[in-house]
Amino acid sequence: MKIKVILAAAAAFLVIIIGVGWGSVYIPPADIFSVIGNKLFGTALPEHIKSSTAAILWSSRLCRVLLAFAAGAALSASGTVMQSVMRNPLASSFTLGVSSGSSLGASIVIFYGASLPVASGASLPVMGFVFGLGSIFLALAVAGSLDGQISNNTVILVGMVLSLFINAVTTLMSAISRENTQELLYWQLGSFQSRGWTPVYILVPVAVIGVLFITHYNRELDIMTFGENQAMSMGVNLKVIKRVLLVAAAALTGASISFCGIVGFVDLVAPHIVRKIFGASHRYVVPMSAIFGGAFMVICDLAARTLPPVGELPVGAVTAIIGAPFFAFIYFGGKKKHADA
């Protein structure tokens, strides 16, 4: 198992190097390390490296790749929690209305110019995060009032209804304010373009802390995969643990999409692949899903910015094009094998 973990970490590191080096201007790995050493430790740059190349790498590509990796890691860890807690391979934070809530928050900023009094430039990500996290709190509150034990079916149904309602409100706002619909659509499709270092400084620590926090509950996650009755018989306080884990997962998703927009399928694909490679123990599934999801997001973002001859594709569209058939193959292929057996 340790060898698999080391190989997965090495592969993810290689993907990051490829993501940083590949683009309109190719930057060899040796030059990448030289520029990073120059920026972090003040080492001298080799004469063949132009200042423009160093600027492209540091101010554009490196921060973009790290942000993509952190976002993919956060989404994948969140998806792992949702699938295990809900005991549903299709469960995700998006199912419970996090993406819808974030879209509503973004709509309020884009359509009506709402801004924070302290940091107006951060209004869009902050509002997206607050409304996304608020939607999960509302879903859990409604589910708790309907079902004291907060059963999985109740949470999923409430989340779906809430998501549909919020989407309807956002659509109504778009119909009223058509002049800003294009900007909202661009945000909803997801992108890491021109984000700079500030989101990296925020999202990387959030992703690391979130993954470590969730990994702390690996025993409870293992037990909950056997069912709610089994978990309660083994002393797991489902009502409390569910709330804690669902809110943590929603916070990771909300933090991610607040900076890069709505990017789907990463949180569905990564946990399934990891479980096939590393088994079902969440001691490995949570951190390995984060590593795999981060690498997958970097690859998708690389495709989004290098495949088109002009401009770039929305990264959310790329993850859907790659992730949807891949997930269908993994999920339904497994079902077929199980039925044949």
Residue by residue, pLDDT tens for the chain (341 residues) are 789 999 999 999 999 999 999 988 899 999 999 999 999 998 889 989 988 899 999 999 999 999 999 999 999 999 999 988 888 877 887 778 888 888 888 888 888 876 666 555 677 788 888 888 899 889 888 988 888 777 778 888 898 899 999 989 988 888 887 777 888 888 888 889 877 898 999 999 999 999 999 999 999 999 888 877 788 888 788 888 988 998 999 899 988 988 888 888 898 889 989 998 999 899 999 999 999 999 999 999 999 999 888 888 999 999 988 878 877 776 676 555 555 55
Is residue 288 in a domain? yes
Q: Looking at the domain assignment, is residue 341 inside a domain?
A: no
d(CA 98, CA 262): 10
Is-contact 315 304, C-beta < 8 A?
yes
Full-model pTM: 0.90
Is 307 contained in some domain? yes
Q: Do the domain assignments include residue 282?
A: yes
Note whether residue 115 is domain-resident. yes
Q: Give the model's pLDDT for residue 295.
A: 96
pLDDT value of residue 17: 96
**CA separation for the pair 241, 83 (Å, rounded):** 15
Look at residue 206 in the predicted model and tell me its pLDDT.
93
State the pLDDT at residue 21: 94
Query: Half-sphere exposure of 182 toward its Cβ, with a 13 Å CA cutoff?
Result: 1
What gap in Å lies between CA 254 and CA 246, rounded to an integer?
12
**CATH number of the domain residue 275 falls in:** 1.10.3470.10
Q: What is the pLDDT of residue 91?
A: 80
Residue 65 resides in a domain: yes
Rounded to a whole number of angstroms, the distance between the first and last alpha carbons of the chain is 27
Q: Is the dihedral of CA 107, 94, 143, 282 positive or negative?
A: negative
Q: Is 142 inside a domain boundary? A: yes
User: Is 81 inside any structural domain?
Assistant: yes
Helices 2-21 and 266-278, packing angle to 10 deg: 140
Residue-level pLDDT at 337: 55
**What is the structure's pLDDT at 293?**
96
Buried b / exposed e along 88-125 (16+ C-beta atoms within 10 A): ebebbbbbbbbbbbbbbbbbbbbbeeeeeeeeeebbbb
| Alpha-carbon distances, residue 126 vs 69, 77, 120, 259, 271 (angstroms) | 20, 21, 10, 9, 28
* 240: containing domain: 2-336
Number of domains in the chain: 1
